Amino acid sequence: MKKLLIIGGAGFIGSNACYFFSKKNYKISVIDSLSYASNLNYIRPLIKDKIIKFDRIDISNYQKLNKHINKLNPQIIINFAAESHVDNSIKSPNIFFKSNVIGVYNILLSIKNYNKKNKSNKIRFFQISTDEVYGSLEKGYANENYPLNPSSPYSSSKAAADCLVMGMCKTYNIKYYISRCTNNFGRFQFPEKLIPLSIKKSLNNKPIELYGDGKNKRDWIFVEDHIRAIYKIITKGKTNQIYNIGAQNTYTNLFISKKILSILKDLKNKKIISKFNNTISFIDDRPAHDFRYAVSTKKIMKDTNWGLKNNFEKNLYHTILWYITFFNKKTNE
């Protein structure tokens, strides 16, 4: 049984990863700083049943992180921890560089020192990155060799972290993986991103707000497909490589909003909800708003035989149902 440390395991993708990897042959430890976008309740059942072990640690604190890694002796570390909301990065970029760059540096430094002392157990590192490091594409798809062209403090912090991983791992002979995934959706996502925020606004009888004309395009992947891709990379992928992860579900933000309202209308007809706001409003665009993201997934499919298992519309439907229950529970607490 391999020892796995999941960093950022109480956040959106990290908490979903905890459930996925708990069904595989891993002894799992989790750390998280428990920032506003994390929720320990998501993984509390796994903690209660002693399936995973949790500790509250901020990766910006090198001393605590280094001590913890030496105590755990993990064989694999997956880093989901990141500040990820572009709007917030525009308002407070310092927070993003503290977590997304300094935090990653601290992890790498801890691994470097650990591997130097432990010749028989070398830690492999998996950095979760983003397709946003490639910037906006007018056409075509970015492969893993596409030049980095970030457009926000968030994406530039992730691009910087990717370069840090490649450079330090090459210098100190650390085996690594980097994945760059498209937009995720599913349960446990903090309601500041497009899909959960739109659901929340509409259920609270407010219009869904879209930047500009709402025609910016994103590729949407169900979170479980993303995590399966991570698992495939760990078990079948090549080390010291970058892998794009995408679903080819490219839709405008306006399309996504209309699809959400269509599903809410169906749920109202089925008397699952009593009311919702059926309107969309358009607000001033944010600075340097990327128009389109799109990545090629030929490499991961070739190297690992990974492929999508989930249907976009079906999983969007079930995601909306999950948030209805989640918001109702929060209202009744």
| 132 DSSP assignment | G
Q: Which of 32, 58, 83, 131 is catalytic?
A: 131
| Nearest by Cα to 112 from 143, 66, 149 | 66
C-alpha span between 59 and 7 (Å, rounded): 8
Catalytic residue among 58, 132, 219, 225: 132
Question: Taking the CA of residue 60 as centre, how many other CA atoms within 13 Å lie in the half-sphere pointing to its CB?
Answer: 13
Two tokens at 172? 């100190």
Which of the residues 154, 176, 177, 323 is marked catalytic?
154
Catalytic annotation on 131?
Answer: yes
Active site residue 105: no
Please, are residues 64 and 87 in contact by the beta-carbon 8 Å criterion? no
Strands 217-222 and 250-252: antiparallel
Q: Any catalytic annotation for residue 154? A: yes
- Nearest residue to 260 via CA among 189, 197, 215: 197
**Residues 25, 2 contacting (CB under 8 angstroms):** yes
Return the active site residues. Answer: 131-132, 154
